[in-house]
Amino acid sequence: MTAVEDRPGVPSDDAAAPEIGRARRRKEDARLITGMTTWTDNMVLPGMLHLAVVRSPVAHARITNVDVSAVREAPGVIAVYTGQDLAEEQGSLPCAWPVTPDMVNPGHPSIAVDQVNHVGEAVAVIVARSKAAAQDAVELADIDYEPLPVVLDMEEAVQDGADLVHDHLESNTSYHFVFDAGEMGTGSDTDQAFADADVVVSRRFVQQRLIPAFMEPRSVVVQPQGDNYTMWSATQIPHILRVMAAMVTGIPEHKLRVVAPDVGGGFGGKLQVNPEEILCLLIARRLGKPVKWTETRSESLMTAHHGRDQIQYVDVAADREGNVKGLRVRLLADMGAYLRLITPGVPALGAFMYPGIYKFPAYRFECDGVFTNKVPTDAYRGAGRPEATFAVERIMDELAVELGMDPLELRRKNWINAEEFPFTTVAGLAYDSGDYETATQEALQLLGYDELRAEQQRRRESGDPVQLGIGFSTFTEMCGLAPSRVLGSLSFGAGGWEHAAIRMLPTGKVEVVTGSTPHGQGHETAWSQLVADSLGVPFEDVEVLHGDTAISSRGLDTYGSRSLVVGGSAVVKAADKVIAKARKIAAHLLEASEDDLEFAGGKFSVRGTPGTGLGIQEIALAIFAAHDYPEGIEPSIDAEATFDPENFSFPHGTHLCAMEVDTETGFVKIRKYACVDDVGTIVNPLIVEGQVHGGLAQGIAQALYEEAVYDDDGNLTTGTFVDYLVPAASDLPHFDTGNTVHAAPGNPIGAKGVGEAGCIASTPAVVNAALDAVRHLGVTDIRMPLTPERVWRALHDGGDGGERATARTNAQAVDSTDAPSTSGGAL
Amino acid sequence: MIPAPFQYVRPTTVEEALQAIADGGEDVKVLAGGQSLIPVMRLRLAAPETVVDLGRVAGLRGVRDDGDAIVIGAMTTHSDVLSDPLIAEHAPLVAEATATVADRQVRHRGTFGGALVHADPAGDLPAVALALDAEFVIAGQSGRRTVPAAEFFVDYLTTAVEEGELLVEVRVPKLTGSWGMRYEKFNRVAQAWSIVAVAAVVRRENGRIAEARVGLTNMGPTPLRARQVEEALAGAEATPEAVAAAAQRAAEGTEPSSDLNAQADYRQHLATVLTRRAVTAAAGL
């Protein structure tokens, strides 16, 4: 913590200083990091039963026989349900984003009935008196499978005559989504632009499959009380979950309460309506008893939705001077076996961001959503926008090489200049504000660019086995999801507003109810800072309530860097209404005209009469007593507000990575990382920096470490954290971070969103840096993640380093020698 | 996850432990620090009938001076190894390799003997024991026997410790003369297992390499000695060129596995690079 103390900008003790801009330590952290909270899995209810899920050990098969008789006989087992048992009532898990009118959605059973389509799909659910009894019984389930051909490779899956994931469908393609700027009138004709171009560069990039790897495993508890149900779930989206679960199960929405208690991370991985949430509801309804399901880490890695997994075909057109003329993007996006909540929308969300910060006159995007026998993909930090940024920032480097230009000069020549904001892009988005040049200049200084370039030259000349490279990435993203009308135009199944309420308690304390449910972001602190400034009350006097649909009646939860931008704005709007209502009371009690009152520092005073005044906390008590208040108004200064932004916000930044590549081993090591982000107004610098650091860690992890690998049979080979490499602090460099501030014009705070920034910008910066280090040795691309082996193979064999080996890992070898045979695929 | 049910015994002496193993039924697992066994049981990849926990066998923990060798008790934790003055003085290579094992939490519970008996080919300590010509003292109900490192590692996850036996201590000979040592580990993230690692122990004499011992981690189902390298180095001039030439032979005769981190040919390449680096450092070049 001393490192924190020493930082500039850490809170002063000056109580009069504004809260916005203070690096407050998070008020929720004491309970979160000392175990003094109740996570979902900590819930214990009288008579509670425990679920364990029997999962498919095969990727694609017909279920020919299910024998659970031995399970029923096992000690402690109360019931066991198969897909057939629940077929009539389980409905389909919802997909809320039909990106095209003719999108094919095969439906997504919570439990497989007659066919399994990915390893780990639920085939039976065991209910027992204890978790151990339920898990012991998993091994007793005897299920016969008749194997079907396994579809894993997207490029093969879209060929005519390919094996089908869903054999009742015509193909493995769920949808074909097109955005053509020429047709939309936001740009010129793309084919013409390419026909006329001096230079065209085409590349194929692979966005590997990633696993969100949140810290707290998913967990669900359902308690039936008569015909009412309460569901506690480790979810990002209690409000959305309530609506969706009601629609899926037929439980009326007003009979279902959903609570997200403190939730330990999500990164998009808990933006989902999970099969197990529905199964818990169905089984609790059948048994009339409370039930709990908590996943194991193995289940989490195998069955919680994954992210990314796209193949990108990118073409850029330019003239010889380096002016970009057109951009063409074609995607294959792996849906996995089913469409979950926003599976098809993730690549579509990126569709508008491929032009990045550059002034492409022509742009065309098309994407095929492809079914495979893998767990579904869905939101993962950045959702569509990291993929877009990667593609454009990688292709700009490739274009620079083709033109023999400095990659920064090429970018500068084509990016939007500060004086051009607001700027409507070729994708039709109105970028709100920013200054790419200033952010870039500051980042170059933070990195020590000139010295590193000189060192790079020296290493090249001396043939040093350790080569040095510098990679650029600029980015912008559409944040603050989102304007509801825009979401409607994209066929998204909900709006993008957010709701807040403020309750003024008799003692002057303040309860803030937010519909933006946190899962680790620090809403309680940031919202308290907002309210402290708005109402002029002490930071400590504010309590933030969230995550329980019985307390927070309206909300759309946390994802897409939307919480502060939309949810925080709703809080500020609600505070404005509190002040407006209190003003009437104050005028009455001070016997003054409303127009003569000014409100500052939490106090109404009569203009020109110093010393008189009434605090808003005193007014709260007065209106609680309600002995004396004006005629014709209600005795309350509580207020609520719903904020629906008119536009997205567009944070941006420049990220620079200096990378050492050991050409003898292929080992890559980040020498230095510098970034300057513009996330608009900063409410809490400590939280912002934490978000940037965490985002960088995840973005760097995509570039260097993480990859979900399936073997040829569709088994997840990276099924533990031994094989799915999540970097720790010791694997990451010091981050030199900075900010420029251009307030977002579209919300009262001026915030743009920071949750995804680091994750979006860092991946291409890291890959560009590695390539810059070895490009003179003939390397033009390296497949992510840049494992030492891939880097070494790219150096020595050419190509991009190739696919990974899919041979058995040590952990699996243990499996073959020591594992008890488990027909049910015990986890 | 929750392990399958098992019987649990916690003896306090080696004799009690051996009796518990004998009485434990068909499938007995010995629990040392539990850093490999417990995860495997939780994943239900192992479901022993009985677990014999050595955590209270105080006599198995600690390091002592035994004249021409130091003796490391099998239940000495990695953390204890790292702070032990005898190891620092006489076998710093053990400490250097131990410092790379997993993370601080694992090193706090994991044990020296447990890591050796587990004999994971990617584990760091077996190759070190091999390079240091350590001896393994194994206790059975009929008495104790000593097995040299070269005969201790039999196969994948398999050692000379037979059913009903226990590893009780490891004797590491004190090295006399001008020795240098180096453990060169290659992995992707700090807490990961070795993809390949090389333990080098080198004695210099009059500008030449008098003797070199090179242990290879994860170059086959067991740790290996790179004998061709050792022979090429014996008596060679202590120059970077001589070391580099010898290190080229590091992968000869090896049959490493292919997995997510590395295919066999890449492992063999790494072995030559890491051997060169380890020997160069150990030789003080």
How many CA atoms are closer than 13 Å to the CA of A226, on its beta-carbon side? 3
Displacement of CA A618 from its chain's centroid (Å):
42
For chain A, domains (ranges, CATH) are: 437-473+649-827 (3.30.365.10), 497-643 (3.30.365.10)
Indicate if the pLDDT at residue B281 is higher than 80: yes
pLDDT tens digits along A380-392: 999 999 999 999 9
Architecture field, domain B7-56: 2-Layer Sandwich (3.30)
Res A815: pLDDT: 37
Res A13: pLDDT: 55
Confidence of residue A14 (pLDDT cuts 50, 70, 90): low
The mean pLDDT of A224-234, rounded to a whole number, is 97
Q: What class has domain B58-173?
A: alpha beta
Res A175: pLDDT: 98
Mean pLDDT of chain B: 97
The mean pLDDT of A313-324, rounded to a whole number, is 98
A420 Cβ contact list (under 8 Å, min separation 6): none
Cβ-based interface (< 8 Å): residues of B facing A: 1-2, 4-5, 40, 43-47, 103, 120-122, 156-157, 186, 188-193, 195, 257-263, 266, 269-270, 273-274
Helix (H) or strand (E) holding A528: helix A523-535
Buried/exposed code over A237-262 (b: 16+ C-beta within 10 A; e: otherwise): bbbbbbbbbbebbebeeeebbbbbbb
Interface test with B, best of A725, A783, A823 (most B CBs within 10 A): A725
Res A149: pLDDT: 98
Between A800 and A498, residue with greater pLDDT:
A498
Confidence of residue A810 (pLDDT cuts 50, 70, 90): very low
A821 part of contact set with chain B, CB < 8 Å: no
Res A8: pLDDT: 45
Q: In A144-233, which residue ranges form alpha helices assigned H by DSSP?
A: 154-157, 181-184, 190-196
Between B237 and A815, residue with greater pLDDT:
B237
pLDDT tens digits along B29-64: 999 999 999 999 999 999 999 999 999 999 999 999
> DSSP E strands: which ranges in B162-264?
166-173, 179-186, 196-205, 208-217, 224-225
The mean pLDDT of A15-43, rounded to a whole number, is 93
Mean pLDDT of chain A: 94
Best CA proximity match to A375, nearest among A336, A401, A342, A349? A336
Res A482: pLDDT: 85
Residue A131 region by backbone torsions, left for phi larger than 0, else alpha for psi between -120 and 50, else beta? alpha
Q: How far apart are the first and last CA of chain B?
A: 49
Q: Is the dihedral of CA A222, A501, A748, A738 positive or negative?
A: negative
Best CA proximity match to A502, nearest among A586, A644, A626, A617? A617
pLDDT tens digits along A453-508: 999 999 999 999 999 999 999 999 998 888 999 999 888 888 999 999 999 999 99
Interface test with A, best of B104, B194, B259, B265 (most A CBs within 10 A): B259
In one letter, which amino acid is A782? I
Indicate if the pLDDT at residue A142 is higher than 50: yes
Confidence of residue A17 (pLDDT cuts 50, 70, 90): confident
Res A804: pLDDT: 59
Quick one: A686 exposed, middle or buried, by C-beta within 10 A (0-12, 13-18, 19+)?
A: buried
How far apart are alpha carbons B29 and B36 in whole angstroms? 12
B270 within 8 A of A665, measured Cβ to Cβ: yes
In one letter, which amino acid is A293? W
Both tokens assigned to A187? 């740009």
Best CA proximity match to A356, nearest among A317, A389, A398? A389
Quick one: B247 exposed, middle or buried, by C-beta within 10 A (0-12, 13-18, 19+)?
A: buried
Both tokens assigned to B220? 């086959």
Between A827 and B238, residue with greater pLDDT:
B238
Beta-carbon neighbour count of residue A625 at 10 Å?
Answer: 10
Determine the distance in angstroms separating the CA of B1 from the nearest CA of chain A, rounded to an integer. 6
How many CA atoms are closer than 13 Å to the CA of B220, on its beta-carbon side? 17
Confidence of residue A299 (pLDDT cuts 50, 70, 90): very high
Residues linked to residue A228 through DSSP beta bridges, in sequence order: A225
Determine the distance in angstroms separating the CA of A819 from the nearest CA of chain B, rounded to an integer. 4
**Strands B153-155 and B158-159: what pairing?**
antiparallel
Confidence of residue A16 (pLDDT cuts 50, 70, 90): confident
Res A611: pLDDT: 78
Best CA proximity match to B46, nearest among A649, A584, A277, A820? A820
How far apart are alpha carbons A104 and A170 in whole angstroms? 10
Indicate if the pLDDT at residue A809 is higher than 70: no
**Measured between beta carbons, which residues in chain B are less than 8 angstroms from residue A802?**
none
A477 within 8 A of A389, measured Cβ to Cβ: yes
**Measured between beta carbons, which residues in chain B are less than 8 angstroms from residue A805?**
258-260, 262-263
Kindly report which listed range (A13-22, A278-287, A368-377, B18-27) carries the lowest average pLDDT score.
A13-22
Q: In chain B, which residue ranges form alpha helices assigned H by DSSP?
A: 14-23, 37-42, 78-83, 85-90, 92-98, 104-109, 112-118, 125-131, 149-152, 227-233, 240-247, 264-282
Contact A730 B190 (CB under 8 A): yes
- Each domain of chain B, given as residue ranges in start order, spans 7-56, 58-173, 179-282
3 state DSSP class of A111? coil
Contact B120 A810 (CB under 8 A): yes
Indicate if the pLDDT at residue A657 is higher than 60: yes
In one letter, which amino acid is B152? F
Residue in B with minimal Cα distance to A132: B2
Report the complex ipTM.
0.96
Res A820: pLDDT: 31
A739 Cβ contact list (under 8 Å, min separation 6): A676, A677, A678, A679, A682, A688
3 state DSSP class of A184? helix
Both tokens assigned to A815? 């499996």
A813 part of contact set with chain B, CB < 8 Å: yes
CATH topology of domain B179-282: Enolase-like; domain 1 (3.30.390)
Beta-carbon neighbour count of residue A159 at 10 Å?
Answer: 11
**Strands A668-678 and A735-739: what pairing?**
parallel
Q: What is the CA radius of gyration of chain B?
A: 19
Contact A814 B190 (CB under 8 A): no
